[in-house]
A and B are shown apart, each in its own frame.
Chain A
Amino acid sequence: MTTRDLVLAALFAAIIVALGLVPPIMLGFIPVPITAQSLGVMLAGVILGAKRGGFAVLLVLLLVAIGLPVLSGGRGGLATFASPTAGYLVGWFFAAVVTGYCSERFVDRSQSGLVQITGFFLAALLGGVVVDHALGILYLAYVTGTGLSTAFIGDLSFVPGDVLKAMISALAGRAVMVGYPLLPQRA
């Protein structure tokens, strides 16, 4: 990893931490406040790609583990990993890596805007929703012993919000790609 890659990952980790400190933003068309940290995870993959995005999220998790209150609502410390919802938290890393890998694969600078946005959306959906929720559900079902189907039903209420975040991160990812392209290109 070059020094620039290291700095980019660290700066993005700082952005994810900062997104947990700003007050939740209300979306115009749906009366649901968006807590922005899981949005930051998808953005890390979409904007930085698999390697640097994954490292950025790993840094955030490391900060949580060493006892800094960097998660939204001032949560932090090793106890966070003992919570029944820890699967979602650890899943962030895999979400960023999968989102980043798919973004590198699906999106190309020569494509038209609509194709790029669709590619980013699918990447964020796969990583941030499918992978993260799958890990979250697995751990929740394991810890509580309630079985996968009940954990899945409980999880469903969070899916619409995260699909929306995937949409926002796709639009933001495309805007950043136009303004300041960073995503590594994979042939």
Chain B
Amino acid sequence: MKTLYVEGDTFLHRLSPRTKLLGLAALSLVLFLVHSPAVLSVAAMLGGIVCASLRLGWRQSWLRLRPILLTIVIVALFTLVLNGRHDALIVATRLTALALFAAAVTATTSTGDFIDEITRLAMPLERLGVVKAADIGLSIGLVIRFVPEILSRYQAIRDAHRARGLKPRPLTLAVPLIILTLKNADDIAAAIDARGIRAQK
């Protein structure tokens, strides 16, 4: 799995993840309170400038933003038909600005930094006894570790279908995949406990 993070040394890269996340949250609040298309277009343009300053290249930026921009265009078109030009312009500029700034934060914060920040943010929850903060990093690591294995297992099950001349169907693919995968849980849990990774304090 390739992350959407890009190596670099721009101003945004050097900012702490917390500042960036809080900034993004504050910005999204402000953007939803503003109802002037002129201000929102300026915000969208600023977002574009910030993204351009990361030197991703046109192709990369386009590939990243395409799915979201497409949704925004569709929603804006609907709004245009239903509510008129003014509302459509507000929706399109507001969402574009938000998407651009969010993409900039994603591109400048590494997965490790994010996990550290989430672990720190979860500390108050740990004190409440809801979740152990260190478990979050551990589970994220587990997910990333097991995705390729599940994919190869999926391929094996599909090949088994082919070899027997069966048509692959959602049900006959999903059930063996899930049972085979979840049956590993005991071994993995035993391995984690044996290494004392979740040692009780």
Q: Interface residues, chain A, CB within 8 Å of chain B?
A: 1-4, 6-15, 17-18, 21-22, 25, 27-28, 34, 36, 39, 43, 47, 55, 59-60, 62-63, 65-70, 73-85, 140, 143-146, 150, 154, 168, 171-172, 175-176, 179-180, 182
6 interchain pairs (CB within 8 A)?
A: A140-B75, A144-B75, A145-B90, A146-B83, A175-B175, A180-B179
List the A side residues contacting B136 at CB < 8 Å: 62
Q: How far is the CB of B51 from chain A (nearest CB, A)?
A: 10
Residue B26 interfacial (CB < 8 Å): no
Report yes or no: A4 in contact with B185, Cβ–Cβ below 8 A: yes
Report yes or no: A67 in contact with B151, Cβ–Cβ below 8 A: no
A145-B65 contact in complex given A11-B182, A66-B115, C-beta closer than 8 Å: no
List the A side residues contacting B168 at CB < 8 Å: 25
List the B side residues contacting A8 at CB < 8 Å: 182, 185
List the A side residues contacting B68 at CB < 8 Å: 75, 79-80, 82-83
Interface centre among B2, B24, B177, B179, by most chain A C-beta atoms within 10 angstroms, is B179
Report yes or no: A1 in contact with B175, Cβ–Cβ below 8 A: no
Chain B interface residue count, Cβ-Cβ cutoff 8 angstroms: 72
Q: How far is the CB of B127 from chain A (nearest CB, A)?
A: 16
Contact of A180 among B82, B106, B182, B192 (CB under 8 A): B182
Over the window 159-170 of chain B, the binary record of Cβ atoms lying under 8 Å from chain A Cβ atoms (1 yes, 0 no) is: 000000001111
A65 and B136 CA atoms in complex are apart in Å by 13
Q: Interface residues, chain B, CB within 8 Å of chain A?
A: 1-5, 24, 28, 64-65, 67-68, 71-72, 75, 78-79, 82-83, 87, 90-91, 95, 98-100, 102-103, 105-107, 109, 111, 114-115, 118, 131, 135-136, 138-140, 142-144, 146-147, 149-151, 154, 167-171, 173-175, 177-179, 181-186, 188-189, 192-193, 198
Report yes or no: A11 in contact with B174, Cβ–Cβ below 8 A: no
A22-B151 contact in complex given A11-B185, A12-B182, A79-B103, C-beta closer than 8 Å: yes
List the A side residues contacting B169 at CB < 8 Å: 25, 27-28
A66-B147 contact in complex given A10-B142, A59-B139, A82-B95, C-beta closer than 8 Å: no
